[in-house]
Amino acid sequence: MKQDNIVPPDAGSGNALASGGNAVEVKDLVKTFDNGNVRALDGVSISVPVGQLLVIIGLSGSGKSTFLRHLNGLHLPTEGSVEVLGNVIPDLKRPELRSLRRDIGFVFQQFNIVGRLTCIENVLSGALGRIRGPRIGAMMYPKSLRVEAFEQLERVGLADRAWQRTDTLSGGQQQRVAIARSLMQKPKIVLADEPVASLDPEISGQVMELLVQCCIEDGITVLCSLHQVDLALGWADRLIGLRDGKVVLDSLVKGLDQEEVMGVYRELDPTGEKENEYRVSETDPSSQ
Ligand code: ADP
Ligand code: MG
C-alpha cells in the first residue's frame, strides 16, 4: 500500500482553538426535545482549557450525554453557542464537521467496537479518517499504520491479543481496545461518556487510569462523564455537576471535598439514602 494514501495530519480541523484559547467554549446552551417538552440542557456555559481533564457527574437524566453529544455535532443547540477547536458547530458544513470529528475521539459505555473483527482491525479503523479509501482487513492498511496500531495496543497492554477476535475479550479489555482505537485517531479531544459504567470497580479504576495516562501523554483534552464520584475525584482536574440540565457544581478537584461533591445529588435526595449509590463504584458481577 502506498504511503501517499495517508492524509497529512494537518488536513483535519487544524490547530485552531475556541475563543479565549480554550479547546471547548459552550455558552448558554439550551437543548430541548419533544417540541420543547423536555429541557435536557438549561443554560449550560462551560469553557475547557486545552489539556484539561474534566469530569461531568450527575444523576441519570441530568444531561451529561446530551452535553457531550453537542461537542461533536451529534446534537445541535436549541439555543446558545458551541465552539470546539475554533469551530462554531452549528455553522459547519458537512465536510467541515467531518474534518472536526477527526480531531475528536469518542469512547462510549458500550465500547462500540466490532466484535467479529480482530483487535488490530478495530484499532486500525480509528485511522480511517487519516487515509483515503476504504480498507477491509488489517493488511489493507499501510504498514506504518499497522505498526502504529500495534504500538497503541501495547500502550493499553493488549499487543498479545492483536489477532484475536475482539468479542472473545472481557469487558475491560474491549474498552481498552476502544481506547486504543480512539488514540489511533490522533485526536485533540476525547469525549468519554460513562466509559466504565459497565465494568466492575477494580477494572473501572484500571481502565480510567489507562485512559487518563494515555491522554496526558498525548496532550489530549478530555471531557468524561462518570457515574462514580470516587473515580471522578481520583482522576479529574476539574469537576462539573449537572442537575436537571443546569451546572450546579464547577470546581477544580484540588481542595474539593467529597461532601461538596455529594451536594450534586443531595438536594434531590434529602434523606441521603441514595447517597452511597454514588459515593462508591457499583459492582456488577457480570462484568470484568
Ligand atoms: P444523562 O446522560 O445524564 O443520563 P441525558 O443527556 O441522556 O442524561 O438525558 C437528559 C434528558 O434528556 C433526559 O430527560 C432524557 O430523557 C432526555 N433526552 C435525551 N435524549 C433525548 C432524545 N433523543 N429525545 C428525547 N429526550 C431525550
Ligand atoms: Mg448518559
Burial class (CB in 10 A: 0-12, 13-18, 19+), 120: buried
**Ligand 1 pocket, Cβ-based, cut-off 6 angstroms:** 33-34, 38, 40, 58, 60-66
Ligand closest to the CA atom of residue 109 = 2
Task: Using the predicted structure, report yes or no on whether residue 112 has a pLDDT greater than 70.
Answer: yes
Calculate how far, in angstroms, residue 144's C-alpha sits from the geometric centre of ligand 1.
Answer: 41
Ligand 1 mean position, distance from CA 163 (Å): 38
pLDDT surpassing 90 at residue 277:
no
- 265 Cα: distance to centroid of ligand 2 (angstroms): 16
Q: Where are the alpha helices (DSSP H) in 195-244?
A: 201-217, 229-235
Report the C-alpha gap between 199 and 197 in whole angstroms: 6
Atom 5 (ligand 1) nearest CA: 63
pLDDT of residue 19: 58
Q: What is the homologous superfamily of the domain 3-103+187-287 according to CATH?
A: P-loop containing nucleotide triphosphate hydrolases (3.40.50.300)
Which ligand has the minimum distance to the alpha carbon of residue 108?
A: 2
* CA 68 to ligand 1: nearest atom: 6
Give the position of cell 455529594. 262
Query: Using one digit for the tens of pLDDT, what is the confidence trace for 152-194?
Result: 999 999 999 999 999 999 999 999 999 999 999 999 999 999 9
130-158 in b/e form (b: 16+ CB < 10 A) is: bbeeebeebeebbeebbebbbebbebbeb
Task: Tell me the pLDDT tens digit for each residue of 57-94.
Answer: 999 999 999 999 999 999 999 999 999 999 999 899 99
pLDDT-derived band of residue 118, with 50, 70 and 90 as boundaries? very high
pLDDT band at 15 (very low <50, low <70, confident <90, very high): very low
CB 199 within 8 A of CB 209: no
224: enclosing H helix or E strand: strand 221-225
Question: What span, in angstroms and rounded, lies between the C-alpha atoms of 29 and 259?
Answer: 28
Higher-pLDDT residue of 35, 111:
35
Atom of ligand 1 nearest to the CA of 66: 6
Handedness of CA 133, 74, 186, 152 (dihedral sign): negative
Q: List residues bridging with 131 in a β-sheet.
A: 6
* CA of 61 relative to ligand 1 center, distance in Å: 5
For a pocket test of ligand 1, which of 29, 41, 66 has the largest count of ligand atoms closer than 8 A to its C-beta? 66
Q: By three-state DSSP, how is residue 7 classified? A: coil
pLDDT at 196 over 80: yes
Report the pLDDT value the prediction gives residue 4, as an integer from 0 to 100.
Answer: 42
Task: State which residues have CB under 5 angstroms from ligand 2, the bound ion.
Answer: 64-65
3-class secondary structure per residue, 31-67: EEECCCCEEEEEEEEEEEECCCEEEEECCCCCCHHHH
Residue located nearest, by CA, to atom 22 of ligand 1: 33
Tell me, what's the pLDDT at 260?
Answer: 83
pLDDT tens track for 123-155: 999 998 888 777 778 888 889 999 999 999 999
Q: Please tell me the distance from the alpha carbon of residue 285 to that of residue 221, in angstroms, as a whole number.
A: 32
